[in-house]
Structure formats: structure tokens, C-alpha cells
Structure 1
Amino acid sequence: MVESSAQKVVSGAPQAGGPRVLELRIHGIKNTAPHDLIGCRADQIEPVGDGDALSGFWTEKDPPAGQPTRVEAYSWGNLARTSPSSSFLKGVARVLGQSFWFLVVPFALANAAYWARRLPAPGTGARPLAAGPGAGTVRLFALLLSLVFTTTFCAVAFGLLAVECFPSTGPGQPTAMCRQLPEALDFLTGWSRGQRLALAALVPVAAILAVFVTAKLATVRNLAPVRVSWNEEPPQGAAQASDGGPFLASPGLWTRPHVSTVTGRAHIAACLALVCILLLSDSMGALWRRDCQTPLRMLGSDCLRDLGTAIGRDGLAAPFLALSVLLLLATMVTVAFFYPEVRAPEEDAAGTKWSNALWTGGAALVLLTIGQLILVPTPDAVPSLPFAGTWVASLLLLTALVVLAVAGLFMRSGRGFQLAIAGASVSSAVLILWAGGLWDDSVLWIPAAITAVFIAFYVGLQTRDGGTDEGWRGGGPAVFMFAAILTAHFLSSALVLGLRKLLQWPMDKELPARPEELWRGAGGSEVDLHDVLDVPSVYALTGGLLLVGIVLALVGFVPACSWLILKGGLTPMQPPAPAGTGPPPVQPPSYFSDIDVDPLSGAESPGSERRNLTYRRRRLSALTQRGEAAFGLLTLLIWGAAVLAIAASALRNGSGATRYRVLLKGPMDVIQEDFAGWGIVLAATVILAFMVLNAATSKEERPLAILWDVMCFLPNAAHPFGAPSYSNRVVPELARRINDWLEAPSPGPAPETGEHHHTVLLSAHSLGAVVAIAALFHLKASKPGLDFKRIRLLTYGVQLRPYFGRFFPELFGPAVLGTWPTRGPGLFSADPWKAARLNEAPGNGSEGNGPEGLTLVKLLRAGQEAETPVWRNIWRRSDFLGFPACAHTPHGNHLDVYGVETEPGHSQFVVATHGNYTATTTYAMVRQDMLEHWPARGLRP
């Protein structure tokens, strides 16, 4: 985006004798520059109004005389891609700042799960925007992700640095330390275990605060500035505008935060409470007898008697531990049940006081715990025991996340939701206890039977309730939650295993390292120092299973693609050979039926090479459009891998060998010991290199910029530290510009009628169409009396129907847009949308004639005739991200227009893909048609 400070700022008001039509072009995920949107050079544009470097409107300085429209470009991409940390962190610090954006990816996926639930219609409950069923579950899931984040840094700080790197070598002997640690830390060898843990507590606390500060800065920069705050208080009567309308037409949806400071402080309090629980449990557990250190013995009668002795000898550790547990439970209840609405309340004095008490209590407990560890130091056991708290916490958190994600399968249906949570909890508990050696193999029928009931019940729900028109047959919340589990544990494993690999790396010898290469300061001790640092098995198992899954996927990818190509999966049907002397049969219709020449047939004709290039591009686009089906299979693999990781992690402290335990333990040991470290370290190295390269070249952009564009659109309603939504600024800002043009005083009457009218043609590409539609509904909520007949919508390269409409039906589904529903893509057919095409029907109504209540088409039509082109959409099959907005078929579909597939502006033939729609002849034709068919009353340009 061109910096506005170097340009003359022009007024956005209509000029006397100037165009009455404003063509407002909005870019998509490609973040097209304003001058490219307008179609001129960068030095030929100037900003409109008071935009800044993050977002703003631009127009041509000297447009051609007699141009019927005023063309403006709205550039908003820097809001999604600019990292706030880059304004004050330089060099290496910028890389650290960008790394935190990777850490919040799971939080953004949890937010997507929140909006994938079945949202109740606005105004149908006691609240204007009731959160609906499952909201508390997803918010609790988001809190558990914060605890996973905290546990990861505790595993690094407590388990590796404070304990594993300082093993005790016996009374009177110097304590050894990791050779890779800097010599400046040698003084820690004289500290006790508890004192080192007290110092290490600063690491997770600093990480929590860093994520909070990063999210807070981004949220501030993405808030709507004063110039677009005109609609924070809806006018009289607007509060009822959403009754019977879609969720997007709710007043104040974009101008109020969705996650309150109460929730954010509760997350901080929960993380601080977990830090205290881990520290205090280690302090108490280290005082028990050696034979009571295993989970199976801790509940024995003799060990329980020792518990009372430990409480008496360890000062205030037990009361502090009880308070920490109570604080953690209080934060869970607060996050899950405190707010029954998707938005934060405007005034919440009671909630503010409560949240202040939570995080203040958490901070006080951390200080008291550190003081307890310093004043009553935990003695070093001989040999040193591992830091068991992170082992238990990581296992329990993964189990709880999987339980909630499984329940997400039933979140949209609303049936069996509580039973799913109970069943998944019982199944997980039985699996852990079996792996721990408390029960024999006969109990495995319990989780097997529960899983079978889950599957049967879920399939039955799909048969009765449908769901084919929803993403993953209504399992969208579960899919997003499992994806959050995958990314969270991948990042955790990368951090923990990567640091362990660094600490174990020999200075001058090949692997495997010998103990003398890993330690220094042993002082001639006879204690056998291990050559491997111990970490919680969940991280190693998760990393190893992830690597195995990637290898299997790569191994199976080539044969699968070969089969698809050679067996006709990606090749259109060819007409059969003529059987007689009659005319050859017509080629059966298919997704590729208008391709004249198949490159595999060897036919030649004028232009055949161009058709072949187009054919190949279409085939490649069709291959990439199977993401929903492929991601559904990935979810099943994540589920299975998580269950294996839970069971195998519990095996570590188990006793007794049974057939299935031995069968599980062997492969899991190989995965944990041989695959985990190098695979995760390699992946983490690639990510780090990408961040460094991104910081060195683009400075202002976040890593994986396109991913952020998509994830950051949805309001952040689940996790307070997730990726901030740019829509809180973009939607009101765009709505304000439309309103300003439509309601601006006319400098003169229209020559045909003498009336004062202005019109707006919204031209939106890709994700820009989602932004434009949200702005239109926001206008309806804020300005219910606005004449929407003076607005037209032209979209191109959009994902409204197959992606946004299926994944978030209550926001962008067919009942909201007034378009036809669609099924998801197939995985193995030549046309991934073959089943969708065969089942296409105006079930919810094309052009606004189907569903009751307000739809986008009805909003724009506002009583006009059905032939009025209020919305047109351009698409092409060579676009891997461009789809029809209404239907594939042209029959009864007055919305979609098929675009040319030749890239304009090239001297050679280039097949067009996802960009450059506005320069095509199709765009010019559709644009002209929409302008010429504007209603009467002098609106025709």
C-alpha cells in the first residue's frame, strides 16, 4: 500500500458535474495494490479522506474525461498482515515477535470452531446475540490451549533447564550441569532444586505476558478509528433491525469487542495458577519416599500416610496448592459460563472486579510460591527425580482437549452433546488406567464400544438431519478443534524437543553423545549421568506420530495421484468410439465438457495447444479443490494419533505386561526414541528459517500472510489472545464510505429527473467479497432506512458458496445470501463437484425467492423485479479459489457469469488463475450491464 503521508489527500464527496456512481473495488487475499485495482501506475493515485498506512481509500489523480463512474480502491491488507511488534522491535527481536504469531495459530483455529457452531437467530433468546449451545465448551477448549502453551514453557523451564540440566551427584559432591548452558549460569550448581525452579518460573510468566502484550497491541491497531465510530450507537429502531434477519445484520456486531477483558484476565489467572500448581506439587512430591514417586503407588495407604508428614514439613506449600487449584477451577467456570452472548457487555463493572480479583490472586500466588521455594528449599533427591508435574499436566490436557473435540462432532446437531462429553471422558479414563497397569486387557471393550456407539449415532444424525450442505457434514467445530490440537502440540513438541536436541548436541563428537560430552562439573562423582535428557513423553510421541503421518502421506500421495490420472480420476470422460456409420455421439456433460481437445488424445487443431494449457490448468485447480474432503481424513488421523499418544504416554509408569500393552509399547518406543526428535527439529528449523527470511525481506508482514487474511476475518470470540480480527475496523470503515457517498448532499440535480441520487457499485475480489457482504449487512443494521436499491454488488474469484457458506452457515450460508446450497467436494472423482452439480436445486432459493427473512439478494433487490442485476459473480474453472456463488449450472442461475480464462496484458498465451479479473473483457461487459440496467429515477450513468 502506498503511504498516505507522501500524497495529497482528496475529499471523498461527490463533485459538481462529476460521476454519480462510485465503483468501489476491494482486494482479496492477494492484497492487490491500490493502483493495480484501479488500473494505473503507482504515481497516478492519491488517497481519499484520512486513511493511513493500514487501510484506506485511493482514487486516480486525473481520471479520463467523461468517465461515467468514480473508481476507488479500498486497501485493507496491511491490517491483516502487519505485525505490531515490528514497530518497536528490530533485527533479531522482530523474529521473536513473529514467532509469537505462530504460537497463536491454535487460538485462531479455536475461534473458527466457535463460529462454526450452530448460531441461534438474533433476538430469539433472552440476549440480542445469544451465544447458543457449545459456546462455553469452545471457550473452555480455548482456555485449555492457553494451559498447553503454559505447560510447554514450564516443561522447558522447569523440566529441562532447572531439573534435568542440574542432576544431583550426591551429598557433598558438586552438582553437574549441561555443558551447553553458558558458564554465566554455573552459580546455579550451588542452588537447591526449589531455588532453581523459583528462578525458572520467570520463563513461563514472561511468555504469558508476551503473548498478552502482542495480542493487545494488535487489537488496539485493528480497532476502528474515530472517523468510523458513527454507528457504535445504532439509531432509534435499529435494535429491531435484526429480528428475522441473519446474524450479520445484528446491530453493533462489528463495533463492540467479542472477547472481554474479563476473559483475558481469566486466561492469565489460569496460566499463573497452573504454574503454581506445577511448582508446589513438585515441592511436596519430592519429600515423599522414593517408592511413592510413581503414580500407582501414590494412592497406597502407606504413601497417603506420608502425605500428612510431607504437608507438615513443607511449610505453606499445601495451602498454596489448594488455593491454586481453586483459582484454576474458578477461571474455568468464568470462561465457560460467565457470558451468554457472543459479544462482550458494554458495561461490566462486576465482571471487571471479578477478573481483577482473579489475575491479582494468580499473581499473588506466584509470588508466594516463589517465596516458599526460596525460603523452604526443596532438597535434591539422589538420584535426581524428573519434574513430574509437566508429565501429568501434558497428558491430562491432551486428554481433555480430545474429549471436547469429540463432543464438537455433535455441537451443531444439538443432540447427544452432553452424552458425547461423558462417553469420551469415560473412554479416555479407562484407556489411561489400562495403560497405567491398573486393569487388564478385558477393559478395552469399554472404549471400543463407546467409539462404535459414537460412530453409529453420528451417522444416524446425518441420515436424519441432513448436513450434506454443511462443512464436514456438520462436524466443522470438531475439525477446527482437532486442527488446533495438532498445531498446538506440534509447536509444543518443536519447542521442547528442539531445546533438548540443542542441549544434547555434542561439542566435538558424533552422535550418540557420551555423558562427558553433555555434562560439566561432575567433580569425579561416581553417579551414572545419563546421556539423554528426559522430557514428557506426550511431546515426543506427538512429534513422532506427526512425522510418521507425514511420511505415510507422502508415500501414499504419489500412488494416489498416479491412480487418479491413469484410471480416469482426473481425466474427463471421452465419447465412445462410433459403432456404425451414423454421426458420433455427443460427449457426455462433465466439469470439463467444454474442452475441445484432450491433451491425452493426441488430437491437433488450430488453437489446440492453448486449449490443452487451459485443460491442464483446470485439472490442477480441480486437484487443489479437494481440501475439505482431505482435511476430513486428516482429522481422523489426528484423532487416532492423539488416542495413541495418550495411551502410550500413560504406559511409561505402568506395570504389568499384557498382550496389547506390549503390542502398543514396542512401536511407540521406536517412534518416541527414533522419530520424534529429528522430525520435529527439522520442521521447527524450516519454520524458523521462514520467519527469519520473512522478517529480513518484508519486515512488516506476519508469517503465512494469506493464512492470516482468512483466519483473522472472524471476530475473535473464543480466545482473548488469538489473532485479532481486522473486520472490527474494515467492516465499519467500508460501510461508512458507502453511506457517505449515498447520503452526501448532491452538488446538483440529475439532468434527467432533477433528483439528487448517488449510487455505489461494490466490486470485490475473493475475500474482499466476504468483507463487502458483511459491510452491507452492517449498513442494514446501522442504517435500516437506507435505500439499498442504489447499491450493486459485483464479485469475482470468491469462495462464498463452497467454503464460507458451508463452514459457517449462519454467517454466509445460502439462507443468508439467497443462493443455492451445495455439497462438499469429492476426493476421487474427475470433477470434485460432480455430486454437488448433480444435486443442485434452488432449495433455499436463488435470487432471494426461497428462505424467509432477510437475505443479501432481497436486501439489494428491495422490491425490484427479478431480472434486475443486483448481484453478479464472475468465476472460471482455472481459478483454484474461484467458484460460482449460486450454482454451477446456468439454468435458472442469473447470478454467475463464466469469465475468460486468458490472462490479459501478456504478449503470450497465459491461462488466468485467481487474479487480474478487473482487466478482462468479461469484467467490463458485466460491469457495463449492471450500470446500464440500474433502475429509473435518473440513476443510469
Structure 2
Amino acid sequence: MGYPVNNASKVPATLELRIHGIRNTPPHELLRCEVADVTRVQGDELGGFFTTKAPSAGPTYVEAYSWGKLARTAPVASTFGKIGAVASNLAWFLLLPFGLANAAYWARRLQKDGPKGGSQLAAGNGAGTVRLFALLLSVFYTAALCTVAFDLLAVQCFRRLEGVPGVSVCNQLPGPADMLRNMTRGQRLTVMASVPLLGMGLLFAISLLSNAKYRRRTLHAEARGSEETVAGAVKPPILAASGFWDRRFVSSSTGVVHIAACFSFVALLINADSVAAVRSPECTGAGQWFNPGCISETLSRTGERALEMALLVAGGLLLFMVAVLVVAWSSEVRAPVETALKRKQAAGLVMVAVVLHLAVTLGIACFATPDDTVTRAFAGTRVAPLVLLALLTILSLSAAVTRSGVRASRAFVLISISTAALLAWSLIPGNDLILLVPVVAGLVLAVDLLRMRRRSIAVFEHEGWFGFGPGVFMLLAVMFASFLSGSLVVGVAEFLRSPRTVGQVLAQNPVWRSVTESTALGEITVPTAYRMFAGVLLVAIVVAVAVVAFWAVVHLFKRRIIAYPSAYDSGVGMPPGEPGEFRPRKMPESLEPRLQRVADRQRWSSLAQRGEPAVWIVVLLVWLAVTVSLAASAARGRTPNDSALQAWFNDIAVFVNLNLAGWGVVAGAVLVLGLAIGNAASSKDRPLSLIWDIICFLPRAAHPFAPPCYGERVVPELSDRMAAWLQPANRKDAQIVVSAHSLGAVLAIAALFHLKATSPETDFTRIRLLTYGVQLRSYFGRFFPELLGPAVVSTVPSAGPALHRADPWITQVSRDFVLANQMHVTEHGKYTLASLLNGDWGNAEPSPPRNHWINIWRRTDYLGFPIDSFCTGPGQRDCIAEEFEPGGYMEDVATHGNYLSTAAYTTARNALIST
């Protein structure tokens, strides 16, 4: 079914295109009719355009656009029933760090000038840092799977126990696993190598299969080159760049090198374990890494494993080559068409080399001399998680300062020196002077940061997390990746330790099959890094929750009324504030009960609006947790001949490992499994649907296997619909009112810019924008300034919320009052949303702004904000919606929904139609 023809006399000239937000409002609610009265105009089971079967009686032809299933549905889950749905939900949890890395990429300070000028985007500072971070996330997950497959299963579950003949097998392994009993260590490693390879392959496949659902039929060709500009001139917004939504920012070549990195890392660990066999048992502890005698012994015996050593070096070089390719390919946001073939060839050659290297490694491991004369731990996975976690943290901190103007490469070097010194201090006994190195490096970076930021301190106040947004997103990714990896490793270890049957609970040795001797209690151990981070992170999260909860309780029990600017009038009779006074005051006893409920709802809504400072606290504690975990993990197991500070770190490691790690893993497992099973039982949505709505809006530009971008389908579909409505030549009075709720407003604005890129001849003065319950000014414009900031969408800059104030926005409210008294009018530049709707796109001297955009909000909406001013008054683009649900049987206080039924919506829509 195609679009309806709008030149028929029975069809109104005005299209009212309603787009839902994060609440995923169904089409019948958007159209305000019964489910049976809805018909699909165009689309599929995941989304599309809907209207009523009977013609609309209003002044507009109303269509509803539904996109929520694109962001939340996991198409793979329904293939294998409920069990498959649970497995798919768990996989989507693992994809979450990839999506956060993608958000970090777009949170950088983006540049509009490409290497060749024109409208091609440039990568900007820190692009290579974020993409290298994304590569290491893939390797970090591979390390966790290798720990399970190689360390726990292939080595620890097939062990020679004292006093027990032959090889003992973990009791929890199924019967067919006994076939591996008579294999050598290398042969078991070869068999188990399939676990990380298949595991990462399935994880990547879920992302690719879901992306196939977003492919669309292109109705309009991209008008490439239509906005060619000279160097130094004002450039159009990035969202209006040529082909922004049509071509991927990370190519298949980048995906190939990610797979190659995972394969190469598997081979690297196997070769590292083989080479480690030359070390004596006395030299295997962390405290002996820098022991001269152990180093000399290891070097003298490397000839015994010369081939494995050569493969180890070759594997390291291959992994380094992959990292170099990823960084080198990050010089452009999108790979130029003319270099695509060369990149595919380079990626193909690297992949062939990696596969050959892995094949040779597995062959040698399978047929080499058996290494079962001694029982030793698997070598590679004891160090790899520690190194990878350190690198991920270094890259996160490096990206955090890129918006400030500090070069990412310089920050990377300084932070790497600090981290290396901290780890060296943990390993080298009795030398606290090493700690001066991170102190000096930190001071140098701090001086650079202050020098770059002092000239633009006001600008950073209007950016999310004071301009440290990329690092915040990346540290959140580190938190989730580390927690999920640790839960996997520790969870499998606990499973292997547990009795297989009820009758084995009282047995002396339930871990090993057919072993009852109490003296043969072989322990299943876990690399320290996994347990350490889980335990320390648990403490960090508890502290963060306690701080946030403390302020929440304080503000909830103090029944205060948030001060209203005198011009604010929602029609319910709330008393206005005194001019110039915006501090929340004690609720008057004379305030009638219905208004007390409004004031209470405002306080509850204000709690949800403190997310930015709450996340800031969490991220700072995560950084502290990672730092402590790295140092304590390296220091654990050392001799008592250390300094007092090193001994203290050793005590921390022992305490966390014995008392907190288990609780941290249990808490994480209960949360993850609960969400995965709960979603599988109740719906087809992915777990944490709200997060997917937000982070999947932007195209994949950092990780090739990040959650797919629903915007790649939604934005062009909306743009095509608007172009089709305005296209007929015999309907000169055709116009559009784009009605967008919440996150739908972001999609609508992106579609308008995309329409300019695809159909530059469109008369945008016939398009009106009506938004309600939006976060453009307070959230999206602060987190992604170059995409949706004030200079792009013509909103007024906003300071961030405060955690400890009764009204989190009190600072901005007072500033808005000053601007309102000065009769401040929002100016729009040469290339902004206002100039686009005003018909002044590209004009050096824009004409006075027309009222083509109206925004509706209310203080009881926990996600709804003004676009210009909290001091809303007559003649402004912001207007107030009623704070009680209209038309309901009960008088409920309105929050984030049901704007369509308010009188404010009808008034605003009619005003836009008449202008």
C-alpha cells in the first residue's frame, strides 16, 4: 500500500504527522481511536505509517509513524522460542558496551570540514582513540571466553590430583567430556578454541542479523555535493551532510579486522601458555615478573620452545597491525569510496594471515610434546584481562579530554605512563618513589587541560558532564564490559565448584568425578582481575546509590514547592513565584490538596532529572574502582617484604576477593538474568528498552558490531513521507505539521535536515514543527552539541542539573528570568533549524524568525523541558500544557504522556496551521 494522494479534494491540505517518543505509544493512541479503526498506510511489522480507516473530521489529515519496535525488538529471539529469547537477551546485554562506544564517538568535538573540503565530514580529535577502544572491547570479550574455555575447562577441569591416578575431570561436565581425559593439554586447548571463536561469532551475528531488518527502499537519491563550501566558511549542520544516513560509517573491512583481532588473540594466548612452560613454578607468581633470576632463567630456556616463541611474536605483531589499521582508517569519519577496495584488500590479507597463524598454532599445540608432567595454571588469561582493562581505561581517560582541545595522542602517552608506573609499583617490592611518576604525569595533563579550558569555560558549562562526555560514555562501557565478563567467568567457576546432584552435597569432594579422597581437593580458581573488579565495583555502586538516595530522601521528605516564574501558567492555579525569587519554598498549608499533588509530582519528576550528575558520580567511582582493581590485582600474592602501602593494597585484594567478589557477581547475575528472563517471558522487546532507544539513534561509527541504528531507516522514511506530501504540483496549499513527542522530536529534526540534503528544492516554509515532552535543550543538545546543540537546532544553551538542589534546574531558571526581562529573542544562524523552517537557509542576513516551531512542556513531566526558557510566557515558542490528565475519570496528575489530548496541543497546532 502506498502513500495517499493529497491532491484529492476530500483529503485536507495539511498533513499532521505524529511521531511517538520513548514510551513507544501505539498507533491507535497516536491517532486517538480504537485499535480496529487503524489501517497501515505503508510499512511492515516493525514500523511504518498508520491512519484511521474513516476520514479525519479535523482540519488535518493525520498519520502516525511508529518506530519503537525497530529500536527494541530482537528479531533473532523469536526463532528458537523462550530459551532462544533468553539467550538473545543476554547477547544484547553484551552488545551494550559497543553501543556506548558508538555514543562516545558522536559525543566528541566533530568537524564539518573533510580532508578534501566540501560537505565531507572530518574525523576530528580522538576518533582513533574511540575506534581503538571499540576494537579492544571485542578483544576483552574474547579474553573472557578464552578464560572459560582454556583456563577453567581445558586446564583446570582436567587435572592430575595428588594421590589420584590419571586425569580427574570436573563433575559438572557432561559425560562426553570424558573423551578429552586422555588428550594432551595442547589437544584440549585446540578443541576448546572453538568456544571463543563461536561465541564471538554468534555475538557479531546477532548484530548483523538485526541490522538486516533496517534495510529500506530508497525513494530519493542523495543530492551529493549540493552544499560545497569553501574553507573557513560557515558549514551546514552535520545532520544535513551529504549521505549521513545512507552509507555506513564503519565498513565491512573494519568488521573483518575486528574478527581478525579476536582470532589472533586466541592464538596469542595459546602460544603464551606454551612458552610459559619454560618458567619454573617458583617464577610464576606476579611478584616474580621483574625478578632478575627468573628473567635470566626464562631467557635461557626459550630455545626449548623456539617455534612457539616465534609464533607468539608473530601473533603480537599481527594484533598490533590490526590496531594500526583501525587507527589509520579513523582519519575519516567514513571511508572514501575510492579507497574502499584497497581497505577490503588489506583487511582480507590480514585475515588470511591471521587464519594461517591460528591454524599453525593449533596444529603445533595439538601435535607437540605433551605437557602433562606438572600441573600449572593457564598462563595467558592471568595477565591479559589486567592489560586489556588498563588499556581500556587509558583510552577512556584520553577521550575524556578531547573536547577540551588536548590532543588524544598526548593524553594517551601521559595516562599510559601513569598507569604503567602504577602497575610497576604494584610489582616491584618496596619502592614507593615510583608513585611520583603518575603524580607528575597527572599534573602535566591537568595543566594542559586547564590551559585549554580557561578560554571557553562558559562553553563547557553548556555541555554534558562539563565537556568530558566521550570519556563518560567509554567508562560506562568499561563498567558494563568488565562486569559482564567477570560475571561470566566467575559464574562458570562457581558452577564447576558446585555439586552436580543433591546426594553430592554431603560428599567430601563434589568437584571431581569419581574422586572421594578429601586430600585431593583441587580448587577451581579465577584470574584475580575478574573477581577484583566485580568486588570493588560493587562497593562503588553502593556508594553512588547511597549518595544519590540520600539527596533524594532529603528532597522528598521536605515537602517544598518548586517556585514558578510569574509568567508560568499551566491552568491549574499553582501560585506563581515572586519576581526574581526562584528558590523552592515550603509548601503552604493553605494550598488545596489537588495542587499539593501537583507539587509532589513535580518533586518526583525533578528526581528523575538528576541523571546527569548521578552518572557523573558513578563514572568517577568506576574510574577509582578500575584503578584500585588494577593495582590490587597486580599486588595480590606478594611476599610481606613490601612497603606499607603495597601491603595495604595486598590486604585490599585479599579482602575483596574473599568477601565482596562473590556478592558482586551474584548481584550482577541476578540483575542480568532477571531482566533477560523477564523480557523473554513478557515481550519480544530487548531488555533495558529505554537505553536502546537512546544509543541506537545514531549511526554505527565506532564498533562495526554495535547495536544497529534504527535511525538509518526511520529518518529517510520520514523525509520521504514529507517530500511525497509536498510534491504534487496541483496542490499549492499543501503543508505539514510534524508533531513529535520526546525522542521523536530528535528523529523529526534529523528528518528535516535529511530532507534538505535529499531534496534541497523543497519549500520548507510549508513545514511546521510541534514538539512536546522533549529533551533537546537539556539532554541531547548537551551530550551531542555538534549534532543537536543550540547552534544547530536554534535552542537556548542550558546549564546542567544540580544533584543537591531542591530544583535541579535552579541555575538555568534564574538565567532564563534575566533573559526574559531583557526581552531576549533567540537568534538563528545561517545554517540552523530555524533558518531552514524560516526559508533563510544559507542567507547571510536571515529575516526575522517566524513562529514555525512551538514546544509544549510542563513541570510535572520528568522528561519534558522547554527549548528556550523555563520562564515561559506569551509570544514565546514554549507553551505550558495542563498538569492534570484531560478527559479522565480520575483527576490524575499528568507526566510524560497524553499531550495530544490537552487544550495546549490543539491551540498550538491550530496556531501553526494558520501561520
TM-score by length of 2: 0.92
Residue by residue, what CA displacement relative to the aligned partner does 1:429-456 show, whole Å, maximum 9, x if unpaired? 1111111125512222322343345445
- Quote the Cα distance in structure 2 between the aligned partners of 1:16 and 1:264: 52
1:855 maps to what in 2? 832
1:4 maps to what in 2? none
> Per the alignment, in what secondary structure is the counterpart of residue 128 of structure 2?
helix
- Given the superposition, is the C-alpha separation of residues 509 and 60 from structure 1 closer, same or farther in structure 2, using an over 3 Å criterion? closer
- Quote the Cα distance in structure 2 between the aligned partners of 1:856 and 1:443: 54
* CA deviation after TM superposition for structure 1 residue 633, in Å: 1.5
1:287 maps to what in 2? 278
- Quote the Cα distance in structure 1 between the aligned partners of 2:765 and 2:576: 48
1:537-616 to structure 2, matched below 5 A, reads 537-565=528-556, 587=578, 600-603=587-590, 608-616=592-600
1:77-226 to structure 2, matched below 5 A, reads 77-123=68-114, 126=117, 128-169=120-161, 173-223=165-215, 225-226=216-217
* CA deviation after TM superposition for structure 1 residue 842, in Å: 7.0
Q: Which moved more, 1:642-651 or 1:351-360?
A: 351-360
Residue by residue, what CA displacement relative to the aligned partner does 1:648-687 show, whole Å, maximum 9, x if unpaired? 0101254432100121221331111111113312321232
1:3 maps to what in 2? none
CA contact (8 A) 1:234 1:782 kept: yes
- Quote the Cα distance in structure 1 between the aligned partners of 2:561 and 2:445: 34
2:843 maps to what in 1? none
Q: Which moved more, 1:329-338 or 1:549-558?
A: 549-558
1:493 maps to what in 2? 486
Pair 1:230-2:220 in alignment: yes
User: Which of these residues, 865, 888, 892, is aligned with residue 910 of structure 1?
Assistant: 892
Q: Which moved more, 1:886-895 or 1:335-344?
A: 886-895
- Quote the Cα distance in structure 1 between the aligned partners of 2:289 and 2:632: 20
* CA deviation after TM superposition for structure 1 residue 346, in Å: 3.5
User: Which of these residues, 680, 694, 698, is aligned with residue 665 of structure 2?
Assistant: 680
Pair 1:74-2:51 in alignment: no
Matched to 1:836, the amino acid is: Q
- Quote the Cα distance in structure 1 between the aligned partners of 2:608 and 2:736: 35
Percent identical residues: 39
1:716 maps to what in 2? 700
1:376-775 to structure 2, matched below 5 A, reads 376-382=368-374, 384-415=375-406, 417-438=408-429, 440-455=431-446, 457-459=448-450, 461-466=452-457, 467-507=460-500, 516-522=509-515, 528-530=520-522, 532-565=523-556, 587=578, 600-603=587-590, 608-652=592-636, 654-655=638-639, 656-699=641-684, 701-746=685-730, 756-775=732-751
* CA deviation after TM superposition for structure 1 residue 125, in Å: 5.5
CA contact (8 A) 2:561 2:599 kept: no
Q: Which moved more, 1:23-32 or 1:292-301?
A: 292-301
2:901 maps to what in 1? 919
* CA deviation after TM superposition for structure 1 residue 562, in Å: 3.8
* CA deviation after TM superposition for structure 1 residue 182, in Å: 1.8
Pair 1:837-2:813 in alignment: yes
* CA deviation after TM superposition for structure 1 residue 534, in Å: 1.1
CA contact (8 A) 2:85 2:680 kept: yes
- Quote the Cα distance in structure 1 between the aligned partners of 2:561 and 2:500: 52
- Quote the Cα distance in structure 2 between the aligned partners of 1:203 and 1:760: 54
Matched to 2:37, the amino acid is: Q
- Quote the Cα distance in structure 2 between the aligned partners of 1:529 and 1:870: 76
> Per the alignment, in what secondary structure is the counterpart of residue 19 of structure 1?
coil
Residue by residue, what CA displacement relative to the aligned partner does 1:336-387 show, whole Å, maximum 9, x if unpaired? 11242212334511111111122232222222222111111541253x2221
Matched to 1:356, the amino acid is: G
- Given the superposition, is the C-alpha separation of residues 436 and 246 from structure 1 closer, same or farther in structure 2, using an over 3 Å criterion? same
User: Which of these residues, 15, 27, 40, is aligned with residue 8 of structure 2?
Assistant: 15
* CA deviation after TM superposition for structure 1 residue 689, in Å: 2.5
Residue by residue, what CA displacement relative to the aligned partner does 1:781-805 show, whole Å, maximum 9, x if unpaired? 1222211101000000001011110
CA contact (8 A) 1:195 1:377 kept: no
- Given the superposition, is the C-alpha separation of residues 781 and 239 from structure 1 closer, same or farther in structure 2, using an over 3 Å criterion? farther
* CA deviation after TM superposition for structure 1 residue 462, in Å: 3.7
2:572 maps to what in 1? none
Pair 1:868-2:850 in alignment: yes
* CA deviation after TM superposition for structure 1 residue 643, in Å: 0.4
> Per the alignment, in what secondary structure is the counterpart of residue 331 of structure 2?
coil
1:937 maps to what in 2? none
- Quote the Cα distance in structure 2 between the aligned partners of 1:790 and 1:571: 39
Pair 1:791-2:767 in alignment: yes
Residue by residue, what CA displacement relative to the aligned partner does 1:716-762 show, whole Å, maximum 9, x if unpaired? 1000111110111111111000001001243xx6xxxxxx2311110
- Quote the Cα distance in structure 1 between the aligned partners of 2:609 and 2:335: 37
- Quote the Cα distance in structure 2 between the aligned partners of 1:852 and 1:514: 77
* CA deviation after TM superposition for structure 1 residue 10, in Å: 6.3
Residue by residue, what CA displacement relative to the aligned partner does 1:307-342 show, whole Å, maximum 9, x if unpaired? 566554447322322221111011101111124221
- Given the superposition, is the C-alpha separation of residues 380 and 588 from structure 1 closer, same or farther in structure 2, using an over 3 Å criterion? farther
- Quote the Cα distance in structure 2 between the aligned partners of 1:388 and 1:462: 45
> Per the alignment, in what secondary structure is the counterpart of residue 403 of structure 2?
coil
CA contact (8 A) 2:636 2:653 kept: no
Pair 1:28-2:5 in alignment: no
* CA deviation after TM superposition for structure 1 residue 143, in Å: 0.7
1:807 maps to what in 2? 783
- Quote the Cα distance in structure 2 between the aligned partners of 1:571 and 1:634: 27
1:352 maps to what in 2? 344
> Per the alignment, in what secondary structure is the counterpart of residue 63 of structure 2?
strand
* CA deviation after TM superposition for structure 1 residue 414, in Å: 1.8
> Per the alignment, in what secondary structure is the counterpart of residue 76 of structure 2?
helix
* CA deviation after TM superposition for structure 1 residue 174, in Å: 1.2
Pair 1:267-2:258 in alignment: yes
> Per the alignment, in what secondary structure is the counterpart of residue 72 of structure 1?
strand
1:938 maps to what in 2? none
Gaps of 5+ in 2: 567-574, 841-845
- Quote the Cα distance in structure 1 between the aligned partners of 2:576 and 2:174: 79
- Quote the Cα distance in structure 2 between the aligned partners of 1:741 and 1:847: 36
TM-score by length of 1: 0.89
Matched to 1:230, the amino acid is: H
> Per the alignment, in what secondary structure is the counterpart of residue 601 of structure 2?
helix
- Quote the Cα distance in structure 2 between the aligned partners of 1:465 and 1:659: 43
Q: Which moved more, 1:828-837 or 1:875-884?
A: 828-837
- Quote the Cα distance in structure 2 between the aligned partners of 1:573 and 1:862: 36
> Per the alignment, in what secondary structure is the counterpart of residue 316 of structure 1?
helix
Matched to 2:328, the amino acid is: F
- Quote the Cα distance in structure 2 between the aligned partners of 1:135 and 1:535: 35
User: Which of these residues, 52, 60, 72, is aligned with residue 60 of structure 1?
Assistant: 52
Query: How many corresponding residue pairs?
Result: 893
* CA deviation after TM superposition for structure 1 residue 292, in Å: 3.4
Matched to 1:675, the amino acid is: L
CA contact (8 A) 2:154 2:192 kept: yes
* CA deviation after TM superposition for structure 1 residue 603, in Å: 2.1
CA contact (8 A) 1:818 1:847 kept: no
1:340 maps to what in 2? 331
